[in-house]
Amino acid sequence: MLKTFPQGGVHPEEGKYSANSVIETLPLPKTVSIPISQHIGAPSKAIVAKGDKVKVGDKIAESAGFVSANIHSSVSGTVVKVDKVLDSSGYKQTCVIINVEGDEWNEAIDRSADLKKEISLTDKEIINKINESGIVGLGGATFPSHVKLSVPDGKKIDVLIINGVECEPYLTSDHRLMLEKAEEMLIGIQILMKALSVNSALIGIENNKPDAISHLEGLVKDYPGIEVHALKVQYPQGGEKQLIKALINREVPSGGLPLNVGAVVHNVGTAFAVYEAVQKNKPLFERVVTLTGKSVAKPSNFMVRIGAPVTELIEAAGGLPEDTGKVINGGPMMGKALNSIEVPVVKGTSGILIMPVELSSRKKESDCIRCAKCVSVCAQGLEPYLLNKLAQLERNDKLETEGVMDCIECGSCSYTCPAGLPLLDYMRLGKSRVSQIIRSRKQ
């Protein structure tokens, strides 16, 4: 029996069309727009101005606090302006706009392809380096990585969990990375283990990627302490609470963090970025992005410079299909629909999914028949039908006691509802109201 999380879950059509597309380097764009807020936490402060010359890897915006991240230029050229530009959030955000001139890299970056195995830095130095390099969680949550590695006093971490689940349908960027950059990723995992002073790291991969599992199983023999675990395909296994439960059978308490149960979770993409930052001195300014969809001519995986416009990825994958109805930043379960394809790729862009028009609208709504399917698919053990009603009635007190804040917004309830009810929409509304109340209570 393959491991998985025990409660709830769905299995949407996988649609991994780009699983066999080797990672290609996207040609350099003419201009890039790099948002100064690409992470959870305080937006960073731009430290360049119009007319400045920058090289690839130069810092252009500085972290504005502990929970924040540095931003580096992904290209060489001249800063045209620092201005508000529409980004993938759907709002205008401050971006550094750079005209690309050549491809001149910061001299400190080691551009050789050699694999560097020895880890010379100490744990503190590693965390500093990761902080300096602007690394955030590349699974999509974009939480600054150095924060997760700075374990508060009194907490003991005994295991590092590496998320190679990629449970979102369609997306394949982590899958390709595990196949093509496996050694780098494993060294990155060793670096993270050293930073956390743990002896054990578990890589969780869903069983629909047997090539990645066998490839890594072959390699980990040379990396003591790292184990590969195949998991049953079940969404939302990539949620860190579900993944920890599946791998080590520990349950992160309600409202708690993985470190409450002695675990830290990082994505495989983050592990790769950590390798590049620590061993090659290369800050985070590019990432793997899947460009896919049912009607896309050439579903692909690209190595993309941060700030490159999504339109260029679409062109490189054969152009925007005729029947396009929706363009999603991320996967179909948790991704955000874009209102424009002119927006830049950011650190959290794991994929761009193009949905044909016939799959772009919602199911027709009808009345709740209390079939309880939403209850049985909820991986957090909540009752979405009830939370949906309570949110509509603005019963905020009851919403809180019924656990609305435990919702991980995986979307399984809305996905499965035969009546096509927008359960998650109302739960999000309820969450935002309740979190406001909780915040005001603390003051």
Is 399 one of the binding residues for another protein (CB under 8 A)? Answer: no
Looking at the Cβ atoms of 191 and 338, the one nearer to another protein is 338
Which one of residues 192, 380, 390, 400 is an interface residue with another protein (CB under 8 A)? 380
Site for another protein in 108-137 (CB under 8 A): none
Q: What x-and-dash track marks residues 9-48 binding another protein by CB under 8 A?
A: -x-xx-----------------------------------
- Of 137-145, 189-197, 299-307, 360-368, the segment contacting another protein by CB under 8 A is 360-368
Q: For residue 383, state whether it binds another protein (rule: CB under 8 A).
A: yes
**Judged by CB under 8 A, how many residues of this single chain contact another protein?**
76
Among 376, 389, 396, 405, which residue sits at the site for another protein (rule: CB under 8 A)?
A: 376
Q: Report the C-alpha gap between 417 and 371 in whole angstroms.
A: 9
Find residue 71's DSSP bridge partners: 61
Burial class of residue 22 (count of CB atoms within 10 Å of its CB; 0-12, 13-18, 19+): exposed
Of residues 123, 227, 403, 433, which one binds another protein by CB under 8 A?
403
- Largest separation between any pair of C-alpha atoms in the chain: 64
- Cβ proximity to another protein: between 102 and 418 the closer is 418
State the nearest-atom distance from the C-beta of 34 to another protein, in Å: 23
| 438 makes contact with another protein (CB under 8 A) | no
- Binding window for another protein (CB under 8 A); candidates: 79-87, 147-155, 205-213, 381-389: 381-389
Question: Cα-flanking dihedrals φ and ψ of residue 222, to 5°?
Answer: -85, 0
Beta strands in 335-424 (DSSP E): 336-337, 351-356
Instruction: Say whether residue 324 binds another protein (CB under 8 A).
Output: yes
Q: What is the DSSP letter of 171?
A: -
Cα(284)–Cα(176) distance, integer angstroms: 18
Nearer to another protein, 20 or 260 (CB): 260
Strands 92-100 and 31-35: antiparallel
Residue 50 beta carbon to another protein: minimum distance, rounded to whole angstroms: 31
Q: Is 362 helix (H, G, I), strand (E, B) or coil?
A: coil
What residues numbered 154-213 form the site for another protein, per CB under 8 A?
Answer: 169
Q: Is 294 in the site for another protein (CB under 8 A)?
A: no
Integer Cα distance of 399 and 155 in angstroms? 31
Alpha carbon 244 to chain centroid distance?
17
> Does residue 336 bind another protein (CB under 8 A)?
yes
Which residue among 328, 352, 390, 434 contacts another protein (CB under 8 A)? 328
Among 230, 378, 390, 404, the residue binding another protein under the rule CB under 8 A is 378
Q: Which stretch binds another protein (CB under 8 A): 27-35, 58-66, 206-214, 407-415?
A: 407-415
DSSP string, 100-152: E-S-PBPTTS-----------S-HHHHHHHHHHTT-B-TTTT--BHHHHHSPP
Out of 325, 389, 405, 433, the only residue in the binding site for another protein (CB under 8 A) is 325
250 binds another protein (CB under 8 A): yes
- CA dist 123 and 215 (Å) reads 29
State whether the Cα torsion 205-207-211-213 is positive or negative. positive
Give the interface segment with another protein, choosing from 57-65, 215-223, 272-280, 366-374 (CB under 8 A): 366-374
Q: Does 245 bind another protein (CB under 8 A)?
A: yes
Token representation of residue 342: 């002119």
Residue 136's DSSP bridge partners are 144
Residue among 411, 430, 431, 434 that touches another protein (CB under 8 A):
411
Residue 226 or 386 having the CB closest to another protein:
386
DSSP assignment of 335-347, as one string?
-EE-S-TTPBP-T
Task: Count the residues in the chain.
Answer: 443
Could you give the string, one character per residue 44-73, with x where binding to another protein holds by CB under 8 A and - elsewhere?
A: ------------------------------
CB of 19 to another protein, least distance (A): 18
Out of 45, 84, 117, 363, name the contact with another protein by CB under 8 A. 363
Q: What is the DSSP string of 19-42?
A: TTPPEEEPPPPSEEEEES--SSSS
- CA nearest to 48, candidates 30, 75, 25, 12: 75
The DSSP bridge partners found for residue 85 are 93
- The pair of three-digit structure tokens given for residue 392, joined into one six-digit string: 């509509």
Q: How far is the CB of 248 from another protein (least distance, A)?
A: 9
